[in-house]
Copies of this chain bind each other. A is one copy, B any other.
Amino acid sequence: MVKLSDVNSKLLKARYAVRGKIVARAQELEGQGRKVIYCNIGNPQALKQKPLTFIRQVLSLLEYPELLNSPEAAKLYPADLIARAKMIMGLNPNGTGAYTQSAGIPFIRQAVADFIQKRDGIPADHNRILLTDGASKGVQAVFTMLTNKENDGYMIPIPQYPLYSATIELYGAKQVNYFLDEANNWQLNEHELVRSIEEARKNGINPVAIAVINPGNPTGAVLSKENIRMVIRFAKANNLAIMADEVYQENVYAAGLKFHSFAQVMHELGEKEVTLFSFHSVSKGFLGECGHRGGYMEIRNMPDDVYGEMIKLQSIGLCSNVDGQLVTYLMVAPPQPGDASYELYASERGAILGDLKEKAEILGRGISAIEGMHAQVPQGAMYAFVRFDLPHAKGIDPEAMTSDERLKYEAARDSKYCLRLLEDTGICVVPGSGFGQQPGTLHFRTTFLPPKDDIKTLVEKMKKFHTAYVEKIKSAC
């Protein structure tokens, strides 16, 4: 029988906090009849966000194309969507039930290229676009492709989305941390990048790529164009590929801020040397179609022979799921003004984004008003990475610990805090140690996806809980 000692030691070491023990405990409590406010994961439709009607209408027609021939269809579906479904059937006559090309259905890759062209005003090549089962699978494909030797390393932000750390561990590569600048709205800092890569090289690591998440997960930050330019220059100077995780590109709420894609900034810089992988997904934005596992990866500055290897890698898994490909198509080619389906689409989109913006404010303002808690109104994405202060128990001096001891001590502290928060209030958040944090700081990540009233409740309960938790430590001192 397979025993734990037989299991891939890299798998044993990998950690993926977003679905860890606290979530398991939350499900247990819910099973016992407790109300749980799930703020642990960006899963909008599990938190009552409704899907966009037009997407589901087109999918329902494509799953059962005989509907297109029925007289009832005209009563049930807007005319433009019936026409759209017919067009899709023409361009993909094998339907939803056949394997596609490994890179994805050609007309959808072309639609993605058109979307990028329109979004950024730059050319895009459908032969450098791959449709993937969500962005995660694209990210993992890049790690598979670029990890060649044991000392190959990836620079990743701290805090980061743990897909990155878990996959690096699993694939046997080296994780190279660079800290985001919390004091400066979680932007990247050039000195810190230099420090990080120099330290890595000193340790015999060969950094091959830098990952950037913009808008940020878990930080909720939106990077400035100047910050992106700096990263591109840094990547060029250090011969790094760039992995740009841009799945929250539609989730920008802060006034005056704008999403800038790495592709667009690279184009402006005339940069033709740095290989860029950028990722997008149907799971976030205002679609929230996580369950459909759709997304794409766009690649720039990659020779044909290398791209051929990426296609081969995709072919081993055959292709991404067709419904996910179709949702990706609908994301990049939504209804246009004048279409029968447009008004509803625009109002649903507006409602979802408006609601998210409002909830970001309720959360950010509410939390930052709590003594000992620090957060800003998230500029984008679906998260706040909240810093909180805890006194140390009597006799404990973190400064006297080794860095490993300190990491463990702090991870135990934020985990205990989040578990207690769950037990006492039903609020389920993820400890900062699951994403990484500066030594000496404690955080948790919370989404602002639950309904507005739940967010308000969360802020109130959090305040009471935190005050009591701190009091308890103090009184034990």
Contacts and interface: CB of A to CB of B under 8 A. Distances in A.
Interface of A: 1-4, 6-9, 11-12, 14, 16, 18-19, 41, 43-46, 51, 53, 56-57, 59-61, 63-64, 66-67, 70, 72, 75-76, 94-100, 102, 133-134, 136-137, 140, 144-148, 163, 166-167, 170, 208, 241, 273-275, 283, 288-293, 301-303, 305-306, 309, 312-313, 315-324
Nearest to A290: B99
A323 B99 contact: no
Nearest to A17: B315
Contact of A321 (B1, B14, B16, B292): B292
A11 B273 CA distance: 23
A273 B43 CA distance: 39
A56 B45 contact: no
Contact of A288 (B63, B97, B315, B321): B97
Please classify the interface of chain A as helix (H, G, I), strand (E, B), loop, or mixed, using the class held by over half of its residues. helix
Nearest to A137: B317
Most B CB atoms within 10 A — which of A41, A301, A312? Answer: A312
Contact of A291 (B61, B97, B137): B97
A83 B51 CA distance: 22
A96 to B, nearest CB: 5
Contacts of A290: 97-99, 318
A309 B4 contact: yes
A56 to B, nearest CB: 4
Contact of A4 (B19, B306, B319): B306
A88 B45 CA distance: 16
Nearest to A15: B312
Contacts of A301: 1
Contacts of A140: 317
Contacts of A67: 60, 76
Contacts of A292: 96-97, 321-323
